């Protein structure tokens, strides 16, 4: 196996609004791949917020976002992000 073939890429990533997070840990507790951990930093409210500690393990399943009571985090698949970046279509369909 060549060096290039042995490089592993993550399948997903998260987006986090750390100022909204209240540190409930639902996203960490329900992550099936255990790729999230609490940061050592505090947000403006004084809570520890989650970090993607193991990005190669993230699948982008969005269970973190589904369990978040404050909509502070969501997961997305890398392939879906790449499709949106290269798509000529607008993200919001025009009414008409």
pLDDT in tens, 4-21: 555 567 899 999 999 999
Q: What is the mean pLDDT of the chain?
A: 88
Is 39 within a domain? yes
Is 57 within a domain? yes
As a whole number of angstroms, the distance between CA 15 and CA 73 comes to 6
Give the pLDDT mean for 26-53. 96
Is 91 within a domain? no
Domain of 67 in residue numbering reads as 12-86
pTM of the predicted model as reported, rounded to 2 decimal places: 0.77
Best CA proximity match to 32, nearest among 10, 59, 5, 51: 59
Is 4 within a domain? no
Token pair for residue 12?
């997903």
CA distances from 87 to 56, 61, 80, 83 (A): 25, 22, 10, 6
Cβ-based neighbour number of residue 30 at 10 Å: 13
- Residue 4 is predicted with a pLDDT of 53
How many domains are there within the chain?
A: 1
As a whole number of angstroms, the distance between CA 90 and CA 73 comes to 23
- Residue 1 is predicted with a pLDDT of 46
Is 2 within a domain? no
Is 36 within a domain? yes
Is 22 within a domain? yes
**CATH code where residue 31 lies:** 3.30.70.20
Looking at the chain, the whole-number percentage of residues with pLDDT higher than 70 is 82
pLDDT in tens, 60-94: 999 999 999 999 999 999 999 888 888 776 655 65
Is 32 within a domain? yes
């Amino acid at each position: 196996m060549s060096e290039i073939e042995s490089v592993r890429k993550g399948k997903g990533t998260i987006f986090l609004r750390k100022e909204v997070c209240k540190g409930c840990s639902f996203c960490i507790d329900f992550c099936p791949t255990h790729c999230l951990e609490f940061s050592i930093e505090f947000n403006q409210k004084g809570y520890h917020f989650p970090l993607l500690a193991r990005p190669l393990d993230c699948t982008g399943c969005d269970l973190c976002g589904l369990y978040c009571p404050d909509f502070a985090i969501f997961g997305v698949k890398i392939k879906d992000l790449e499709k949106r970046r290269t798509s000529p279509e607008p993200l919001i369909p025009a009414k008409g």
